[in-house]
Protein backbone atom coordinates (compact mmCIF):
# COMPACT_ATOMS: atom_id res chain seq x y z
CA UNK A 1 0.00 0.00 0.00
CA UNK A 2 2.89 2.34 0.90
CA UNK A 3 4.62 1.76 -2.44
CA UNK A 4 1.37 2.49 -4.24
CA UNK A 5 1.01 5.86 -2.43
CA UNK A 6 4.61 6.76 -3.28
CA UNK A 7 3.95 6.08 -6.93
CA UNK A 8 0.83 8.34 -6.89
CA UNK A 9 2.82 11.12 -5.09
CA UNK A 10 5.66 11.00 -7.64
CA UNK A 11 3.15 11.07 -10.49
CA UNK A 12 1.56 14.25 -9.07
CA UNK A 13 5.01 15.93 -8.83
CA UNK A 14 5.82 14.96 -12.43
CA UNK A 15 2.52 16.45 -13.65
CA UNK A 16 3.18 19.66 -11.67
CA UNK A 17 6.68 20.08 -13.09
CA UNK A 18 5.52 19.51 -16.65
CA UNK A 19 2.76 22.08 -16.09
CA UNK A 20 5.24 24.69 -14.89
CA UNK A 21 7.35 24.14 -17.97
CA UNK A 22 4.52 24.22 -20.51
CA UNK A 23 2.19 26.86 -19.03
CA UNK A 24 2.60 30.62 -18.79
CA UNK A 25 3.47 31.28 -15.17
CA UNK A 26 1.08 33.98 -13.89
CA UNK A 27 2.33 33.90 -10.31
CA UNK A 28 4.94 36.29 -8.84
CA UNK A 29 7.85 36.60 -8.41
CA UNK A 30 8.47 34.25 -11.37
CA UNK A 31 6.04 35.84 -13.82
CA UNK A 32 7.81 35.67 -17.17
CA UNK A 33 6.24 34.60 -20.41
CA UNK A 34 8.59 32.48 -22.53
CA UNK A 35 8.19 34.13 -25.92
CA UNK A 36 10.17 31.63 -28.01
CA UNK A 37 9.45 30.44 -31.53
CA UNK A 38 11.97 27.77 -32.40
CA UNK A 39 10.20 26.75 -35.62
CA UNK A 40 10.07 23.24 -36.98
CA UNK A 41 13.23 21.19 -36.92
CA UNK A 42 14.00 18.22 -39.08
CA UNK A 43 17.08 16.10 -39.51
CA UNK A 44 19.20 17.04 -42.55
CA UNK A 45 18.91 14.76 -45.51
CA UNK A 46 21.55 12.08 -45.42
CA UNK A 47 24.08 12.44 -48.23
CA UNK A 48 24.35 9.60 -50.69
CA UNK A 49 27.98 8.45 -50.53
CA UNK A 50 27.51 5.57 -52.92
CA UNK A 51 29.17 7.61 -55.69
CA UNK A 52 31.68 10.47 -55.90
CA UNK A 53 30.56 14.07 -56.40
CA UNK A 54 31.63 17.70 -55.88
CA UNK A 55 30.34 19.02 -52.57
CA UNK A 56 31.56 22.60 -52.92
CA UNK A 57 33.11 24.87 -55.56
CA UNK A 58 34.53 28.36 -55.18
CA UNK A 59 34.27 30.86 -56.82
CA UNK A 60 30.85 30.46 -58.36
CA UNK A 61 28.61 32.75 -60.37
CA UNK A 62 29.36 36.49 -60.46
CA UNK A 63 32.35 37.50 -58.36
CA UNK A 64 31.84 40.92 -56.66
CA UNK A 65 33.58 43.98 -58.09
CA UNK A 66 37.08 44.52 -56.78
CA UNK A 67 37.50 40.92 -55.60
CA UNK A 68 39.99 38.78 -57.52
CA UNK A 69 40.00 35.10 -56.45
CA UNK A 70 43.43 33.95 -55.32
CA UNK A 71 42.53 30.33 -55.99
CA UNK A 72 39.81 28.01 -57.34
CA UNK A 73 38.84 25.31 -54.80
CA UNK A 74 36.79 22.10 -55.25
CA UNK A 75 35.76 19.87 -52.33
CA UNK A 76 34.84 16.21 -53.03
CA UNK A 77 33.03 13.68 -50.83
CA UNK A 78 35.62 10.91 -51.29
CA UNK A 79 39.46 10.94 -51.11
CA UNK A 80 41.29 11.31 -54.40
CA UNK A 81 44.93 11.06 -53.30
CA UNK A 82 46.67 9.53 -50.27
CA UNK A 83 47.38 11.97 -47.42
CA UNK A 84 51.07 11.11 -47.56
CA UNK A 85 51.42 12.55 -51.08
CA UNK A 86 49.82 15.98 -50.51
CA UNK A 87 53.09 17.92 -50.71
CA UNK A 88 54.42 16.12 -53.80
CA UNK A 89 51.21 16.01 -55.84
CA UNK A 90 51.09 18.77 -58.49
CA UNK A 91 48.35 17.41 -60.74
CA UNK A 92 44.77 18.55 -60.42
CA UNK A 93 41.49 16.79 -61.07
CA UNK A 94 39.66 19.59 -62.89
CA UNK A 95 40.20 21.89 -65.86
CA UNK A 96 39.58 25.64 -66.26
CA UNK A 97 38.73 27.18 -69.61
CA UNK A 98 39.77 29.45 -71.12
CA UNK A 99 43.17 28.27 -69.95
CA UNK A 100 45.11 30.34 -67.43
CA UNK A 101 48.63 29.78 -66.12
CA UNK A 102 49.05 28.51 -62.58
CA UNK A 103 49.58 25.43 -60.42
CA UNK A 104 47.51 22.91 -58.45
CA UNK A 105 47.74 22.32 -54.72
CA UNK A 106 46.06 19.85 -52.36
CA UNK A 107 44.84 20.88 -48.89
CA UNK A 108 43.65 17.38 -48.04
CA UNK A 109 42.84 14.14 -49.80
CA UNK A 110 39.44 15.59 -50.86
CA UNK A 111 40.30 19.31 -51.45
CA UNK A 112 41.95 20.34 -54.71
CA UNK A 113 42.87 23.97 -55.45
CA UNK A 114 44.23 25.87 -58.44
CA UNK A 115 46.38 28.96 -57.82
CA UNK A 116 46.69 31.27 -60.87
CA UNK A 117 50.04 32.92 -61.64
CA UNK A 118 48.54 35.62 -63.87
CA UNK A 119 45.54 37.97 -63.51
CA UNK A 120 42.05 36.83 -64.40
CA UNK A 121 40.60 38.32 -67.58
CA UNK A 122 37.55 40.34 -66.56
CA UNK A 123 36.12 40.01 -70.07
CA UNK A 124 35.96 36.21 -69.86
CA UNK A 125 33.54 33.78 -68.26
CA UNK A 126 35.53 30.87 -66.81
CA UNK A 127 34.25 27.27 -66.80
CA UNK A 128 35.37 24.62 -64.28
CA UNK A 129 35.02 21.02 -65.52
CA UNK A 130 35.43 17.66 -63.76
CA UNK A 131 35.47 14.57 -65.97
CA UNK A 132 32.82 11.90 -65.41
CA UNK A 133 35.62 9.30 -65.52
CA UNK A 134 37.21 10.58 -62.31
CA UNK A 135 37.53 7.90 -59.59
CA UNK A 136 38.34 8.08 -55.88
CA UNK A 137 41.06 5.95 -54.31
CA UNK A 138 38.32 3.85 -52.66
CA UNK A 139 36.89 2.98 -56.09
CA UNK A 140 33.91 5.35 -56.02
CA UNK A 141 33.31 7.08 -59.38
CA UNK A 142 31.37 10.07 -60.70
CA UNK A 143 27.84 9.51 -62.02
CA UNK A 144 28.37 12.25 -64.59
CA UNK A 145 30.75 15.07 -65.43
CA UNK A 146 30.59 18.26 -63.33
CA UNK A 147 30.58 21.83 -64.63
CA UNK A 148 30.43 25.26 -62.94
CA UNK A 149 31.09 28.81 -64.17
CA UNK A 150 32.21 32.09 -62.65
CA UNK A 151 32.81 35.59 -63.97
CA UNK A 152 34.48 38.57 -62.36
CA UNK A 153 32.29 41.66 -62.34
CA UNK A 154 33.76 44.39 -64.51
CA UNK A 155 34.59 47.37 -62.27
CA UNK A 156 32.90 50.68 -62.86
CA UNK A 157 34.83 53.30 -64.84
CA UNK A 158 35.48 55.87 -62.10
CA UNK A 159 36.69 59.42 -62.65
CA UNK A 160 38.40 61.83 -60.27
CA UNK A 161 38.39 65.50 -61.30
CA UNK A 162 40.32 67.97 -59.15
CA UNK A 163 42.40 71.09 -59.22
CA UNK A 164 46.00 69.99 -59.61
CA UNK A 165 48.57 71.21 -57.12
CA UNK A 166 49.94 74.42 -58.58
CA UNK A 167 53.23 75.55 -57.18
CA UNK A 168 53.68 79.20 -56.39
CA UNK A 169 56.34 80.92 -58.45
CA UNK A 170 59.68 79.83 -57.01
CA UNK A 171 60.25 81.58 -53.70
CA UNK A 172 62.47 81.32 -50.67
CA UNK A 173 61.16 78.96 -47.96
CA UNK A 174 61.13 81.80 -45.42
CA UNK A 175 58.51 83.64 -47.50
CA UNK A 176 56.32 80.62 -48.31
CA UNK A 177 53.04 80.04 -46.46
CA UNK A 178 51.55 76.54 -46.18
CA UNK A 179 48.47 77.18 -44.07
CA UNK A 180 46.36 79.15 -46.57
CA UNK A 181 43.17 77.59 -47.92
CA UNK A 182 43.07 76.86 -51.66
CA UNK A 183 40.17 74.39 -51.56
CA UNK A 184 37.69 76.78 -53.24
CA UNK A 185 39.40 79.59 -55.14
CA UNK A 186 41.25 78.81 -58.34
CA UNK A 187 43.93 80.88 -60.06
CA UNK A 188 43.45 82.95 -63.22
CA UNK A 189 45.57 80.27 -64.94
CA UNK A 190 44.73 76.97 -63.23
CA UNK A 191 45.90 73.41 -63.77
CA UNK A 192 43.35 70.59 -63.30
CA UNK A 193 43.80 66.82 -63.06
CA UNK A 194 41.70 63.94 -64.40
CA UNK A 195 42.26 60.39 -63.17
CA UNK A 196 40.45 57.35 -64.58
CA UNK A 197 40.32 53.86 -63.10
CA UNK A 198 40.70 52.37 -66.60
CA UNK A 199 42.44 53.35 -69.81
CA UNK A 200 40.58 55.85 -72.00
CA UNK A 201 41.16 57.64 -75.30
CA UNK A 202 42.83 61.06 -74.99
CA UNK A 203 40.96 62.17 -78.11
CA UNK A 204 37.61 61.25 -76.51
CA UNK A 205 38.55 62.97 -73.24
CA UNK A 206 39.36 66.16 -75.17
CA UNK A 207 35.98 65.91 -76.90
CA UNK A 208 33.95 65.33 -73.72
CA UNK A 209 35.78 67.92 -71.55
CA UNK A 210 34.78 71.59 -71.29
CA UNK A 211 35.48 74.69 -69.15
CA UNK A 212 32.82 77.39 -68.85
CA UNK A 213 33.49 80.70 -67.03
CA UNK A 214 30.55 83.06 -66.50
CA UNK A 215 28.72 81.33 -69.35
CA UNK A 216 31.60 81.53 -71.82
CA UNK A 217 33.67 78.63 -73.15
CA UNK A 218 37.34 78.79 -72.11
CA UNK A 219 40.05 77.16 -74.28
CA UNK A 220 42.42 74.69 -72.63
CA UNK A 221 45.30 72.32 -73.35
CA UNK A 222 44.99 68.63 -72.38
CA UNK A 223 48.07 66.48 -71.70
CA UNK A 224 47.83 62.70 -71.14
CA UNK A 225 50.25 60.35 -69.41
CA UNK A 226 51.55 57.14 -70.98
CA UNK A 227 49.26 55.01 -68.81
CA UNK A 228 46.21 56.55 -70.58
CA UNK A 229 44.58 56.94 -67.17
CA UNK A 230 46.02 60.25 -65.94
CA UNK A 231 45.54 63.63 -67.58
CA UNK A 232 46.17 67.28 -66.77
CA UNK A 233 44.67 70.29 -68.48
CA UNK A 234 45.13 74.03 -68.09
CA UNK A 235 43.17 77.00 -69.38
CA UNK A 236 45.00 79.09 -71.99
CA UNK A 237 42.84 82.17 -71.38
CA UNK A 238 42.91 83.62 -67.82
CA UNK A 239 39.72 83.55 -65.79
CA UNK A 240 38.35 86.98 -64.93
CA UNK A 241 38.40 88.10 -61.31
CA UNK A 242 35.79 86.29 -59.14
CA UNK A 243 34.45 84.28 -62.10
CA UNK A 244 32.06 81.34 -61.69
CA UNK A 245 33.92 78.47 -63.35
CA UNK A 246 32.31 75.16 -64.33
CA UNK A 247 34.43 72.17 -65.40
CA UNK A 248 32.49 69.29 -66.96
CA UNK A 249 33.23 65.84 -68.39
CA UNK A 250 30.17 64.75 -70.38
CA UNK A 251 28.85 61.18 -69.85
CA UNK A 252 29.51 58.39 -72.32
CA UNK A 253 33.32 58.24 -72.37
CA UNK A 254 34.08 54.56 -73.07
CA UNK A 255 36.76 52.45 -71.42
CA UNK A 256 39.51 51.09 -73.69
CA UNK A 257 39.80 48.02 -71.46
CA UNK A 258 36.15 46.92 -71.28
CA UNK A 259 33.76 47.75 -74.10
CA UNK A 260 30.40 49.03 -73.00
CA UNK A 261 31.83 50.55 -69.82
CA UNK A 262 31.09 54.31 -69.78
CA UNK A 263 31.64 57.28 -67.49
CA UNK A 264 28.91 59.21 -65.71
CA UNK A 265 28.41 62.95 -65.94
CA UNK A 266 31.15 64.74 -63.93
CA UNK A 267 30.66 68.39 -62.95
CA UNK A 268 32.74 70.64 -60.67
CA UNK A 269 32.10 74.32 -59.88
CA UNK A 270 34.80 76.76 -58.73
CA UNK A 271 35.34 80.43 -58.00
CA UNK A 272 38.35 82.21 -59.49
CA UNK A 273 40.60 84.51 -57.50
CA UNK A 274 39.16 87.75 -56.21
CA UNK A 275 40.87 90.75 -54.64
CA UNK A 276 44.17 90.51 -52.81
CA UNK A 277 43.76 90.07 -49.04
CA UNK A 278 46.12 90.29 -46.06
CA UNK A 279 45.75 88.50 -42.73
CA UNK A 280 47.81 88.90 -39.58
CA UNK A 281 48.45 85.54 -37.89
CA UNK A 282 49.87 84.38 -34.52
CA UNK A 283 50.71 87.91 -33.35
CA UNK A 284 49.13 87.64 -29.89
CA UNK A 285 52.29 85.99 -28.56
CA UNK A 286 53.13 86.33 -24.86
CA UNK A 287 56.92 86.54 -25.00
CA UNK A 288 59.43 88.27 -27.28
CA UNK A 289 61.11 84.96 -28.19
CA UNK A 290 57.91 83.86 -30.03
CA UNK A 291 58.01 86.78 -32.49
CA UNK A 292 59.11 84.33 -35.23
CA UNK A 293 55.53 83.05 -35.56
CA UNK A 294 53.95 86.50 -36.01
CA UNK A 295 53.43 87.16 -39.73
CA UNK A 296 51.40 88.89 -42.43
CA UNK A 297 49.91 86.38 -44.90
CA UNK A 298 48.81 87.22 -48.46
CA UNK A 299 46.10 85.05 -50.03
CA UNK A 300 47.88 85.43 -53.41
CA UNK A 301 51.61 85.66 -54.13
CA UNK A 302 52.96 89.22 -54.33
CA UNK A 303 56.31 90.58 -55.43
CA UNK A 304 58.45 91.13 -52.33
CA UNK A 305 59.87 94.42 -53.57
CA UNK A 306 56.34 95.77 -54.19
CA UNK A 307 55.19 94.64 -50.74
CA UNK A 308 58.04 96.48 -48.98
CA UNK A 309 57.30 99.69 -50.90
CA UNK A 310 53.61 99.40 -49.97
CA UNK A 311 54.26 99.04 -46.22
CA UNK A 312 54.69 101.88 -43.74
CA UNK A 313 55.86 101.04 -40.21
CA UNK A 314 55.46 103.49 -37.33
CA UNK A 315 57.65 104.10 -35.43
CA UNK A 316 60.26 103.41 -38.09
CA UNK A 317 61.89 100.00 -37.81
CA UNK A 318 64.88 98.64 -39.69
CA UNK A 319 64.48 95.42 -41.70
CA UNK A 320 66.85 92.55 -40.98
CA UNK A 321 66.29 91.13 -44.48
CA UNK A 322 64.42 92.30 -47.55
CA UNK A 323 62.56 89.82 -49.77
CA UNK A 324 63.10 89.49 -53.49
CA UNK A 325 60.75 87.87 -55.96
CA UNK A 326 57.31 86.39 -55.14
CA UNK A 327 56.32 85.97 -51.49
CA UNK A 328 53.26 84.79 -49.55
CA UNK A 329 54.17 86.09 -46.12
CA UNK A 330 56.26 88.59 -44.19
CA UNK A 331 57.34 87.80 -40.64
CA UNK A 332 57.69 90.32 -37.85
CA UNK A 333 61.16 88.81 -37.47
CA UNK A 334 62.06 90.19 -40.92
CA UNK A 335 62.29 93.50 -39.06
CA UNK A 336 64.17 94.27 -35.84
CA UNK A 337 61.43 94.97 -33.28
CA UNK A 338 62.27 96.20 -29.80
CA UNK A 339 60.75 94.44 -26.80
CA UNK A 340 58.16 96.59 -25.03
CA UNK A 341 57.32 98.80 -28.04
CA UNK A 342 54.12 99.03 -30.12
CA UNK A 343 54.18 99.23 -33.93
CA UNK A 344 51.65 100.12 -36.61
CA UNK A 345 51.87 98.41 -40.03
CA UNK A 346 49.97 100.11 -42.87
CA UNK A 347 49.56 98.40 -46.28
CA UNK A 348 48.69 100.60 -49.27
CA UNK A 349 45.47 99.85 -51.17
CA UNK A 350 47.53 99.90 -54.39
CA UNK A 351 49.50 96.76 -53.50
CA UNK A 352 49.01 94.15 -56.27
CA UNK A 353 49.50 90.40 -56.52
CA UNK A 354 51.46 88.72 -59.31
CA UNK A 355 48.35 88.77 -61.56
CA UNK A 356 47.69 92.47 -61.01
CA UNK A 357 44.77 92.14 -58.55
CA UNK A 358 44.85 95.03 -56.05
CA UNK A 359 44.37 95.01 -52.31
CA UNK A 360 41.55 97.50 -52.90
CA UNK A 361 41.62 99.11 -49.45
CA UNK A 362 44.21 100.25 -46.95
CA UNK A 363 44.94 97.66 -44.26
CA UNK A 364 46.28 98.68 -40.84
CA UNK A 365 47.57 96.31 -38.14
CA UNK A 366 48.77 96.98 -34.58
CA UNK A 367 51.40 94.85 -32.84
CA UNK A 368 52.51 95.18 -29.22
CA UNK A 369 55.90 93.51 -28.78
CA UNK A 370 55.91 91.82 -25.33
CA UNK A 371 58.65 91.31 -22.75
CA UNK A 372 61.25 88.57 -22.86
CA UNK A 373 60.52 85.19 -21.34
CA UNK A 374 62.99 84.56 -18.49
CA UNK A 375 65.61 82.30 -20.01
CA UNK A 376 69.32 81.63 -20.19
CA UNK A 377 71.64 79.20 -21.95
CA UNK A 378 75.34 78.41 -22.07
CA UNK A 379 76.75 76.89 -25.26
CA UNK A 380 79.26 74.11 -24.56
CA UNK A 381 81.17 75.35 -27.63
CA UNK A 382 82.43 78.24 -25.49
CA UNK A 383 83.72 76.04 -22.67
CA UNK A 384 87.34 76.56 -23.82
CA UNK A 385 88.77 80.06 -23.29
CA UNK A 386 91.96 81.67 -24.58
CA UNK A 387 94.14 82.52 -21.57
CA UNK A 388 95.67 85.58 -23.22
CA UNK A 389 92.26 87.12 -23.88
CA UNK A 390 89.43 88.17 -21.56
CA UNK A 391 88.40 85.26 -19.36
CA UNK A 392 84.67 85.74 -19.85
CA UNK A 393 82.25 82.85 -20.38
CA UNK A 394 79.52 83.79 -22.95
CA UNK A 395 75.96 83.23 -21.70
CA UNK A 396 72.68 84.22 -23.39
CA UNK A 397 70.31 85.81 -20.86
CA UNK A 398 66.80 87.27 -21.20
CA UNK A 399 64.72 88.90 -18.44
CA UNK A 400 66.90 87.58 -15.60
CA UNK A 401 68.37 90.58 -13.71
CA UNK A 402 70.31 88.35 -11.28
CA UNK A 403 71.21 84.70 -10.93
CA UNK A 404 73.14 82.42 -8.58
CA UNK A 405 76.60 81.31 -9.68
CA UNK A 406 78.73 78.57 -8.14
CA UNK A 407 82.41 78.19 -9.12
CA UNK A 408 85.04 75.68 -7.97
CA UNK A 409 88.58 74.76 -9.02
CA UNK A 410 89.29 71.33 -10.49
CA UNK A 411 92.60 69.49 -10.32
CA UNK A 412 94.21 67.29 -12.95
CA UNK A 413 93.37 64.30 -10.75
CA UNK A 414 89.64 65.17 -10.81
CA UNK A 415 89.78 65.46 -14.61
CA UNK A 416 91.25 61.93 -14.76
CA UNK A 417 88.43 60.66 -12.51
CA UNK A 418 85.86 62.23 -14.83
CA UNK A 419 87.42 60.47 -17.83
CA UNK A 420 87.28 57.11 -16.00
CA UNK A 421 83.72 57.62 -14.71
CA UNK A 422 81.05 55.28 -16.12
CA UNK A 423 77.37 56.23 -15.66
CA UNK A 424 75.16 53.59 -13.99
CA UNK A 425 71.40 53.13 -13.97
CA UNK A 426 70.14 53.55 -10.40
CA UNK A 427 66.67 54.26 -9.02
CA UNK A 428 65.19 55.03 -12.42
CA UNK A 429 67.96 57.33 -13.71
CA UNK A 430 71.63 57.41 -14.66
CA UNK A 431 74.25 58.56 -12.18
CA UNK A 432 76.31 61.56 -13.19
CA UNK A 433 79.75 62.85 -12.27
CA UNK A 434 79.51 65.53 -9.59
CA UNK A 435 82.23 68.04 -10.43
CA UNK A 436 81.72 70.02 -7.24
CA UNK A 437 82.33 66.92 -5.12
CA UNK A 438 85.86 66.96 -6.55
CA UNK A 439 86.35 70.76 -6.62
CA UNK A 440 88.24 73.01 -4.20
CA UNK A 441 87.90 76.67 -3.22
CA UNK A 442 84.20 76.55 -4.12
CA UNK A 443 82.43 79.92 -4.00
CA UNK A 444 78.82 80.99 -4.51
CA UNK A 445 77.41 84.47 -5.08
CA UNK A 446 74.54 86.41 -6.68
CA UNK A 447 75.55 87.75 -10.09
CA UNK A 448 73.80 90.87 -11.36
CA UNK A 449 73.61 90.16 -15.08
CA UNK A 450 72.45 93.52 -16.47
CA UNK A 451 69.44 91.89 -18.17
CA UNK A 452 65.93 93.26 -17.64
CA UNK A 453 62.28 92.71 -18.53
CA UNK A 454 62.74 94.10 -22.04
CA UNK A 455 66.37 93.18 -22.54
CA UNK A 456 67.90 89.95 -23.78
CA UNK A 457 71.39 89.47 -25.17
CA UNK A 458 74.72 87.68 -24.74
CA UNK A 459 76.64 88.56 -21.59
CA UNK A 460 80.06 87.54 -20.34
CA UNK A 461 80.67 86.10 -16.88
CA UNK A 462 84.19 86.96 -15.69
CA UNK A 463 86.08 83.84 -14.59
CA UNK A 464 89.49 85.49 -14.08
CA UNK A 465 89.13 85.78 -10.26
CA UNK A 466 88.95 81.97 -10.04
CA UNK A 467 91.82 81.11 -12.42
CA UNK A 468 95.52 80.91 -11.70
CA UNK A 469 97.75 83.97 -12.11
CA UNK A 470 98.47 82.94 -15.71
CA UNK A 471 94.70 82.64 -16.33
CA UNK A 472 94.91 78.89 -16.86
CA UNK A 473 93.18 75.97 -15.17
CA UNK A 474 89.98 73.96 -14.96
CA UNK A 475 86.78 75.25 -13.36
CA UNK A 476 83.37 73.81 -12.53
CA UNK A 477 80.70 76.50 -13.08
CA UNK A 478 76.99 76.27 -12.28
CA UNK A 479 74.39 78.93 -13.16
CA UNK A 480 71.11 78.70 -11.31
CA UNK A 481 67.87 80.68 -11.58
CA UNK A 482 64.20 80.17 -10.72
CA UNK A 483 61.79 79.61 -13.60
CA UNK A 484 58.00 79.77 -13.11
CA UNK A 485 56.21 76.59 -14.21
CA UNK A 486 52.46 75.87 -14.25
CA UNK A 487 51.74 72.44 -12.71
CA UNK A 488 48.50 70.64 -11.91
CA UNK A 489 47.47 67.27 -10.50
CA UNK A 490 43.97 66.02 -11.23
CA UNK A 491 41.82 62.89 -11.42
CA UNK A 492 39.36 64.60 -13.77
CA UNK A 493 39.00 63.79 -17.45
CA UNK A 494 40.07 67.29 -18.44
CA UNK A 495 43.30 69.24 -18.16
CA UNK A 496 44.23 72.89 -18.35
CA UNK A 497 47.27 73.84 -20.41
CA UNK A 498 48.96 77.04 -21.45
CA UNK A 499 48.54 78.00 -25.11
CA UNK A 500 51.60 76.62 -26.90
CA UNK A 501 51.57 79.67 -29.19
CA UNK A 502 51.98 81.90 -26.15
CA UNK A 503 54.25 79.65 -24.13
- Same-domain pairing of 181 and 255: yes
- What is the pTM for the complete model shown? 0.59
Query: Are 449 and 419 a contacting pair, CB within 8 Å?
Result: no
Assign 5 a pLDDT band (cuts: 50, 70, 90).
Answer: very low
HSE-CB for 491 with a 13 A CA cutoff? 0
Return the pLDDT at 225: 95
Burial profile 51-64: b = 16 or more Cβ within 10 angstroms, e = fewer:
ebbbeebebeeebe
Question: What contacts 270, CB < 8 A, 6 or more positions away?
Answer: 163, 184, 185, 186, 190, 244, 245, 246, 247
Query: Are 70 and 102 a contacting pair, CB within 8 Å?
Result: no
Question: What contacts 82, CB < 8 A, 6 or more positions away?
Answer: 109, 137
Which CATH number goes with the domain that contains 114?
2.60.40.3710
Return the pLDDT at 502: 44
Which CATH number goes with the domain that contains 173?
2.60.40.1220
Comparing CA positions, the residue from 134, 107, 258 lying closest to residue 196 is 258
Q: How many angstroms separate the CA atoms of 187 and 197, rounded?
A: 27
- Same-domain pairing of 467 and 380: yes
Q: In this structure, is residue 5 part of a structural domain? A: no
Exposed, middle or buried, 329 (CB in 10 Å: 0-12/13-18/19+)?
buried
Query: Are 309 and 190 a contacting pair, CB within 8 Å?
Result: no
Last residue of a domain, one of 131, 152, 173: 152
Return the pLDDT at 321: 87
Return the pLDDT at 178: 63
Question: What contacts 215, CB < 8 A, 6 or more positions away?
Answer: none
Q: What is the mean pLDDT of residues 59-65?
A: 90
Q: In this structure, is residue 498 part of a structural domain? A: no
For residue 389, is pLDDT > 90?
Answer: no
Return the pLDDT at 406: 95
- Same-domain pairing of 434 and 380: yes
Q: In this structure, is residue 323 part of a structural domain? A: yes
pLDDT tens figures, 69-119: 999 999 999 999 998 888 887 899 999 999 999 999 999 999 999 999 999
Chain centroid offset of residue 155 CA: 28
Return the pLDDT at 46: 67
Last residue of a domain, one of 368, 395, 425: 368
- Same-domain pairing of 87 and 108: yes
Q: What is the mean pLDDT of residues 251-255?
A: 94
Q: In this structure, is residue 70 part of a structural domain? A: yes
The pairing of strands 266-272 and 185-186 is parallel
Query: Are 235 and 222 a contacting pair, CB within 8 Å?
Result: no
pLDDT tens figures, 7-46: 444 444 444 444 444 434 444 444 444 444 445 555 556 6
- Same-domain pairing of 213 and 238: yes
Question: What contacts 77, CB < 8 A, 6 or more positions away?
Answer: 47, 49, 52, 53, 55, 110
Comparing CA positions, the residue from 395, 397, 360 lying closest to residue 381 is 395
- Same-domain pairing of 333 and 350: yes
Count CB-CB contacts under 10 A for residue 501. Answer: 14
User: Structural domain tally of the chain?
Assistant: 4
- Same-domain pairing of 267 and 178: yes
- Same-domain pairing of 141 and 178: no
Last residue of a domain, one of 152, 174, 208: 152
pLDDT tens figures, 164-177: 866 666 666 677 77
Query: Are 455 and 430 a contacting pair, CB within 8 Å?
Result: no
Exposed, middle or buried, 3 (CB in 10 Å: 0-12/13-18/19+)?
exposed
Q: What is the mean pLDDT of residues 299-318?
A: 94
Q: In this structure, is residue 45 part of a structural domain? A: no
Q: How many angstroms separate the CA atoms of 364 and 409, rounded?
A: 58
Return the pLDDT at 485: 67
pLDDT tens figures, 425-450: 888 888 889 999 999 999 999 999 99
For residue 248, is pLDDT > 90?
Answer: yes
Q: In this structure, is residue 133 part of a structural domain? A: yes
Q: What is the mean pLDDT of the chain?
A: 86
Distances (CA, A) of 123 to 117, 199, 254: 18, 15, 15
**Residue-range definition of the domain harbouring residue 144:** 54-152
- Same-domain pairing of 347 and 439: no
Which CATH number goes with the domain that contains 306?
2.60.40
Return the pLDDT at 15: 41
Q: What is the mean pLDDT of residues 176-200?
A: 80
- Same-domain pairing of 245 and 267: yes
What does DSSP assign to residue 346?
E
- Same-domain pairing of 474 and 385: yes
Q: In this structure, is residue 39 part of a structural domain? A: no
- Same-domain pairing of 85 and 186: no
Q: In this structure, is residue 303 part of a structural domain? A: yes
Amino acid sequence: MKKHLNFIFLSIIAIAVSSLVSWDMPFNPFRKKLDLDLGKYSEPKKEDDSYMKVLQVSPKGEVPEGFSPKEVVLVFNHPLIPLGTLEEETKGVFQISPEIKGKFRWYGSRICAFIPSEPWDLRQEYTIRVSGDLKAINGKSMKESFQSTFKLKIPKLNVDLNTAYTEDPEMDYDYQEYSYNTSEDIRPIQKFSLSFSQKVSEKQVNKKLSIIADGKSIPFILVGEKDKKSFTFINTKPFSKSSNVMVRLEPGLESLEYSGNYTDDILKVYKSWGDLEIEMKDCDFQYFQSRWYCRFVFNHPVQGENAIRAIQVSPDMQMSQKPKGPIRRLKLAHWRPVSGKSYTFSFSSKLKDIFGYELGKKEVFQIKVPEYKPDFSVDSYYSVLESKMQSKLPIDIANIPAMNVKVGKLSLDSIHKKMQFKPEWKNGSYTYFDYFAHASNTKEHLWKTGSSKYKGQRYGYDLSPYLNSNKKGWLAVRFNNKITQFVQSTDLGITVKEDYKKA
